[in-house]
C-alpha cells in the first residue's frame, strides 16, 4: 500500500526514524534507567518495541492507558504518574497481577490508594512546575501516612516540566539542578529506591533520578527539535491540498488533527499562517496543486497522536503496517 491511498489527515511514522530514536535513547538510558511514558504515543505496538529493547517499566497518564498496557501483556511495572480520586480500577488491575504504582501528593490521595487496594505509591513532589505535587517539606509526613495505611512507598517522583522545553541548554541544566535539589531533599525524608523524574528534554542532564520518564523522543515534534537533541522527526501528519489561491494554499489538516498548544505546525518550504477546525492555511515556496499531498510536522506530539485512531508505519511512500492508537481515552 502507498500513502497516496490513505484517507487524510493520516498519522505517519517513519520506520527508520522511529528505530533510530528508540536505539539512541536505549543506548543512553538502558533497561531500568528509562521508564518510557506511553502518553506520547498511546500505542501498545510501539510500547512493545520499547520493551524489546529492555524497558519493561512504563509510565502512564490515564487509567485507560494502565488497563490497555496490562491487556497487552505489558504490565510488569506500571506507574500512573497522576493523582486520581477513584483508584478502584487500579486496585482491580493490581489484584489481577499487574504491578501498579500510583502517584500521591496529599492525605486524600493516599487514602484513595489504600481504600482501593493499590499496593504501592510514589510521593509526588512539586519541584517547580505549578501542577501536582506536595511541598518537599511535607513529603516525609505523607510517606509516613502511606506506610501507616499499609502502602509500600517506593520513593519519590518530581516532574520538571517547566524545564524540559527550555531552548538554552545552560539554563535548562541550571534549573534542572534546582528542581532535583528539591526532589533530593524530599527523598531524604521519604526513602525508597525510586527517584523518578525527567523527560525528553532533560534525559541526558538528569543524573539525580534513578529513572527517566521520557516519552516524546520516540516520535518527536518541532518543539523538542529546537533543543538540538539526537532524535529525528519520525512523526508527521499526511494532508491533502484542497484549495489553492495566488498567495496561499489550504490542506485538510486543522485543529482537530494537530496538537496546537506549542504553536503552529511546520510544512517544509512553506510559511504556515494558521489552522482552523479542518484546515491548515500555508504559503508554499513552490506552487502546489489541488490533490497534492504534504507532510505536516506537529509542534506537540502527545495531543496530536490522541486525535488519531491509527499510526501508519511507513518507509518513504510505502505503508509497512498500521498500528492502533489503542491507549486513547480515560
- Which residues fall within 8 angstroms of residue 131, CB to CB, at 6 or more apart? 159, 161
pLDDT at 91: 98
Alpha carbons within 13 A on the beta-carbon side of 146: 33
Q: What is the pLDDT of residues 172-215, one digit of tens each?
A: 999 999 999 999 999 999 999 999 999 999 999 999 999 999 99
Q: What's the mean pLDDT in 153-161?
A: 98
In the chain, what percentage of residues exceed pLDDT 90? Answer: 100
Q: Is residue 70 part of a domain?
A: yes
Q: How far apart are CA 5 and CA 10, in angstroms?
A: 11
pLDDT at 295: 98
Q: How far apart are CA 86 and CA 63, in angstroms?
A: 10
Q: What's the mean pLDDT in 40-65?
A: 98
Both 287 and 247 in a single domain? Answer: yes
Alpha carbons within 13 A on the beta-carbon side of 247: 1
pLDDT at 98: 98
Q: Are 138 and 125 a contacting pair, CB within 8 Å?
A: no
Q: Is residue 77 part of a domain?
A: yes
Phi and psi at 76, nearest 5°, equal -60, -35
Q: Are 9 and 241 a contacting pair, CB within 8 Å?
A: no
Q: What is the pLDDT of residues 208-260, one digit of tens each?
A: 999 999 999 999 999 999 999 999 999 999 999 999 999 999 999 999 999 99
pLDDT at 64: 98
Q: What's the mean pLDDT in 151-169?
A: 98
Both 203 and 151 in a single domain? Answer: yes
Total residue count of the chain as it appears in this document? 330
| Cell numbers linked to 172 | 535548562
In the chain, what percentage of residues exceed pLDDT 70? Answer: 100
Assign 39 a pLDDT band (cuts: 50, 70, 90): very high
pLDDT at 52: 98
Q: Is residue 223 part of a domain?
A: no
| Cell numbers linked to 44 | 501498545
Where on the phi/psi map is residue 161: left (φ > 0), alpha (ψ -120 to 50), or beta?
alpha
Both 122 and 249 in a single domain? Answer: no
Q: Are 261 and 220 a contacting pair, CB within 8 Å?
A: no
Average pLDDT, the chain: 98
Its domain, for residue 119, covers: 16-216
CATH number of the domain bearing residue 141: 3.20.20.10
Q: How far apart are CA 67 and CA 95, in angstroms?
A: 13
Q: How far apart are CA 228 and CA 166, in angstroms?
A: 11
Both 165 and 278 in a single domain? Answer: no
Helix (H, G, I), strand (E, B) or coil at 197: strand
Q: Is residue 221 part of a domain?
A: no
Both 53 and 187 in a single domain? Answer: yes
Q: Is residue 330 part of a domain?
A: no
How many structural domains does the chain have? Answer: 2
Assign 143 a pLDDT band (cuts: 50, 70, 90): very high
Q: Are 32 and 79 a contacting pair, CB within 8 Å?
A: no
Assign 315 a pLDDT band (cuts: 50, 70, 90): very high
CATH number of the domain bearing residue 240: 2.40.37.20
Amino acid at each position: 500500500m502507498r500513502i497516496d491511498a490513505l484517507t487524510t489527515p493520516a498519522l505517519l511514522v517513519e520506520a527508520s526514524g522511529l528505530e533510530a530514536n528508540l536505539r539512541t535513547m536505549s543506548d543512553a538510558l538502558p533497561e531500568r534507567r528509562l521508564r518510557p511514558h506511553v502518553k506520547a504515543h498511546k500505542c501498545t505496538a510501539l510500547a512493545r518495541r520499547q520493551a524489546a529493547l529492555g524497558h519493561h517499566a512504563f509510565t502512564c497518564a490515564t487509567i485507560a492507558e494502565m488497563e490497555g498496557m496490562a491487556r497487552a501483556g505489558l504490565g510488569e511495572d506500571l506507574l500512573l504518574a497522576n493523582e486520581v480520586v477513584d483508584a478502584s480500577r487500579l486496585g482491580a488491575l493490581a489484584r489481577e497481577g499487574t504491578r501498579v504504582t500510583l502517584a500521591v501528593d496529599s492525605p486524600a490521595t493516599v487514602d484513595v490508594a489504600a481504600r482501593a487496594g493499590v499496593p504501592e505509591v510514589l510521593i509526588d513532589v512539586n519541584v517547580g512546575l505549578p501542577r501536582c505535587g506536595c511541598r518537599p517539606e511535607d513529603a516525609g509526613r505523607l510517606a509516613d501516612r502511606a506506610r501507616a495505611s499499609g502502602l509500600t512507598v517506593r520513593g519519590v517522583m518530581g516532574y520538571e516540566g517547566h524545564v524540559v522545553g527550555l531552548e538554552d541548554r545552560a539554563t535548562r541544566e541550571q534549573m534542572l539542578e534546582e528542581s532535583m535539589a528539591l526532589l533530593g531533599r524530599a527523598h531524604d525524608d521519604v526513602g525508597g529506591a525510586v527517584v523518578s523524574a525527567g523527560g525528553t528534554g532533560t534525559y541526558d542532564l538528569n543524573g539525580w533520578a534513578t529513572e527517566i520518564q521520557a516519552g516524546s523522543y520516540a516520535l518527536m515534534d518541532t518543539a523538542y527539535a529546537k533543543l538540538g537533541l539526537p532524535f529525528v522527526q519520525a512523526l508527521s501528519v499526511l494532508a491533502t491540498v484542497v484549495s489553492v489561491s495566488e498567495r496561499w494554499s489550504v490542506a485538510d489538516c486543522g485543529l482537530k488533527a494537530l496538537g496546537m498548544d506549542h504553536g503552529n505546525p511546520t510544512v517544509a518550504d512553506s510559511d504556515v499562517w494558521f489552522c482552523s477546525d479542518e484546515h491548515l492555511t500555508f504559503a508554499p515556496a513552490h506552487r502546489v496543486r489541488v490533490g497534492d499531498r504534504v507532510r505536516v510536522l506537529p509542534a506537540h506530539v502527545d495531543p496530536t497522536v490522541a486525535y488519531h485512531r491509527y499510526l501508519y508505519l511507513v518507509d518513504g511512500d510505502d505503508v509497512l503496517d498500521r498500528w492502533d492508537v489503542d491507549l486513547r481515552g480515560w
